[in-house]
Structure 1
Amino acid sequence: MTDYPFPPALRLLRWAIHGTFAILLVIAVAAAARQGQAPPALGGTLLGVLYAVGILIERRLPHYGGQTHLRLGRIWLVVITLGWAALALASPQFVWLAFPLFFAYLHLLPLSVALPGVAVLTVAAILAAAWHEGRLTSAQIIGPTIGAAVATLMAMVYKVLYAESEERRLLIDDLVRTRGKLVEVESDAARLAERERLAREIHDTLAQGMSSIILLLRAARRDLAEDPAAAEHHIAEAEHAAQENLEEARNFVRALAPPVLQHSSLVAALRRISDSAVAGTSTQVRFEVSGTPVPLPAAYDATLLRVAQGALGNVSRHSGAEHAGVTLTYLDDAVILDVYDDGHGFDVSNPDGQAAGTGYGLRVMRERVRTLEGTLAVESSPGEGTAVVATLPLLRGEAA
Structure 2
Amino acid sequence: MTGSDPHVWERLEPAWHAAFALFVLVTAALVVTNPDAPTVAGTALLAVIGLVHALLAPPAMRDAPSRLGAAYLAVTVPATVALFALTPVGSVMLFVLFPMVWRLLGTRAAVVVTVGLVAAVTAIGMLLSGAAPGPGYLALYGGAALSAVLLGLWITSIAAQSDRRAALLAELERTRCELAAAHREAGALAERERMARDIHDTLAQGFTSLTLLVRAAAGEIDRDPAAARRHLDLAERTARENLAETRALVRAAPPAPPAGDPLPVALSRLVARCGEAMRAGAVGGGADGSEADRSGAAGAGATLDTAGWDPPGPGRCTPEREIALLRIAQEALANVRRHAAASAVAVTLRRAEGGTRLEIRDDGRGFDPAAERDGRFGVNGMHGRATELGGTLTVLSAPGAGCRVIAWIPDTAPDAPGTEARAPQETAPEAADPPETASRETAEPAGGHP
TM bin (shorter chain): 0.7 to 0.9
Corresponding position of 2:91: 95
Alignment partner of 1:281: what SS?
Answer: helix
Identify if the C-alpha distance between structure 1 residues 35 and 213 changes in structure 2 by more than 3 Å, giving closer, same or farther: closer
| CA distance in 1 between partners of 2:112 and 2:376 (Å) | 81
Corresponding position of 1:124: 120
Corresponding position of 2:292: none
Name the aligned partner's letter for residue 360 of structure 2. V
Identify if the C-alpha distance between structure 1 residues 96 and 62 changes in structure 2 by more than 3 Å, giving closer, same or farther: closer
Name the aligned partner's letter for residue 122 of structure 1. V
Pairwise CA distance, 1:327: 1.5
Pick from 221, 232, 254 the counterpart of residue 218 of structure 2.
221
Identify if the C-alpha distance between structure 1 residues 25 and 242 changes in structure 2 by more than 3 Å, giving closer, same or farther: closer
Corresponding position of 1:31: 30
Corresponding position of 1:167: 164
Corresponding position of 2:54: 53
Is the contact made by 1:329 and 1:336 (CA closer than 8 Å) also made in structure 2?
yes
Corresponding position of 1:345: 366
Q: Which residues in structure 2 correspond to 1:179-258 (within 5 Å)?
A: 179-258=176-255
Name the aligned partner's letter for residue 81 of structure 1. V
Cα deviation per residue 1:286-343 (whole Å; 9 max; x = unaligned)? 1121231135212102211110110111111111222112221123511111111111
Is the contact made by 1:304 and 1:337 (CA closer than 8 Å) also made in structure 2?
yes
Larger mean CA deviation between 179-188 and 278-287 belongs to 179-188
Identify if the C-alpha distance between structure 1 residues 6 and 115 changes in structure 2 by more than 3 Å, giving closer, same or farther: same
Cα deviation per residue 1:29-58 (whole Å; 9 max; x = unaligned)? 33322233432552364155236405xx54
Cα deviation per residue 1:94-147 (whole Å; 9 max; x = unaligned)? 135335433333443344443333233222212322343333587766555433
Identify if the C-alpha distance between structure 1 residues 261 and 239 changes in structure 2 by more than 3 Å, giving closer, same or farther: closer
Identify if the C-alpha distance between structure 1 residues 206 and 61 changes in structure 2 by more than 3 Å, giving closer, same or farther: farther
Corresponding position of 1:86: 82
Pairwise CA distance, 1:198: 2.2
1:291 aligns with 2:309: yes
Pairwise CA distance, 1:184: 3.9
Corresponding position of 2:332: 311
1:330 aligns with 2:351: yes
Identify if the C-alpha distance between structure 1 residues 59 and 101 changes in structure 2 by more than 3 Å, giving closer, same or farther: closer
Is the contact made by 1:278 and 1:316 (CA closer than 8 Å) also made in structure 2?
no
Pairwise CA distance, 1:365: 0.4
Alignment partner of 1:74: what SS?
Answer: helix
Percent identity between the two aligned chains: 31
Q: How does the TM-score come out when normalised to structure 1?
A: 0.84
Name the aligned partner's letter for residue 73 of structure 1. G
Is the contact made by 1:287 and 1:326 (CA closer than 8 Å) also made in structure 2?
yes
Identify if the C-alpha distance between structure 1 residues 32 and 120 changes in structure 2 by more than 3 Å, giving closer, same or farther: same
Name the aligned partner's letter for residue 236 of structure 1. D
Q: Which residues in structure 2 correspond to 1:144-159 (within 5 Å)?
A: 145-159=142-156
| CA distance in 2 between partners of 1:40 and 1:387 (Å) | 106
Alignment partner of 1:225: what SS?
Answer: coil
Unaligned runs of 5+ in 2: 280-299, 420-450
Larger mean CA deviation between 74-83 and 207-216 belongs to 207-216
Alignment partner of 2:277: what SS?
Answer: coil
| CA distance in 2 between partners of 1:372 and 1:265 (Å) | 19
Corresponding position of 2:322: 301
Pairwise CA distance, 1:272: 0.9
Identify if the C-alpha distance between structure 1 residues 333 and 224 changes in structure 2 by more than 3 Å, giving closer, same or farther: same
Alignment partner of 1:387: what SS?
Answer: strand
| CA distance in 1 between partners of 2:148 and 2:12 (Å) | 16
Corresponding position of 1:367: 384
Alignment partner of 1:279: what SS?
Answer: helix
How many pairs were matched up?
387
Higher helix share: 1
Is the contact made by 2:64 and 2:104 (CA closer than 8 Å) also made in structure 1?
no
Q: How does the TM-score come out when normalised to structure 2?
A: 0.75
| CA distance in 1 between partners of 2:408 and 2:173 (Å) | 43
Pick from 265, 268, 272 the counterpart of residue 271 of structure 1.
268
Identify if the C-alpha distance between structure 1 residues 107 and 72 changes in structure 2 by more than 3 Å, giving closer, same or farther: same
Pairwise CA distance, 1:379: 1.1
| CA distance in 2 between partners of 1:9 and 1:82 (Å) | 25
Name the aligned partner's letter for residue 149 of structure 1. L
Corresponding position of 1:42: 43
Is the contact made by 1:30 and 1:41 (CA closer than 8 Å) also made in structure 2?
no
Alignment partner of 1:383: what SS?
Answer: coil
Corresponding position of 2:282: none
Name the aligned partner's letter for residue 384 of structure 1. A
Is the contact made by 2:60 and 2:68 (CA closer than 8 Å) also made in structure 1?
no
Pairwise CA distance, 1:166: 2.5
Larger mean CA deviation between 30-39 and 375-384 belongs to 30-39
